[in-house]
């Protein structure tokens, strides 16, 4: 989950003029990155071998 501090840091790095769409896209990206980090911390990941097996299944 995003924090106010992360949002403020991100906004301060934006140029003087930007669109709402650019801001929303950046916030969505940051949220997905945060979720990925949490999943990795909780060991909720797919190993490379598991991924290879899934890809083989998809390609059948």
- Give me the mean pLDDT over the 33-60 stretch: 94
pLDDT at 14: 94
- Give me the mean pLDDT over the 30-46 stretch: 94
Q: Please provide the average confidence, as pLDDT, over all residues in the chain.
A: 93
Encoding tokens for residue 7?
A: 């949002």
- SS3 assignment for the chain: CCCHHHHHHHHHHCCCCCCHHHHHHHHHHHHHHHHHHHHHHCCCCCCHHHHHHHHHHHCC
Instruction: Note the pTM of the prediction, 2 decimals.
Output: 0.70
Domain coordinates of the chain in residue numbers? 4-58
- Does position 23 have pLDDT exceeding 80, yes or no? yes
């Amino acid at each position: 989950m995003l924090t106010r501090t992360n949002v403020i840091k991100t906004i301060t790095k934006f140029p003087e003029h930007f669109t709402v769409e650019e801001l929303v896209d950046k916030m969505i990206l940051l949220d997905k990155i945060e979720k990925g980090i949490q999943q990795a911390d909780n060991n909720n990941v797919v190993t490379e071998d598991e991924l290879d097996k899934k890809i083989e299944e998809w390609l059948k």
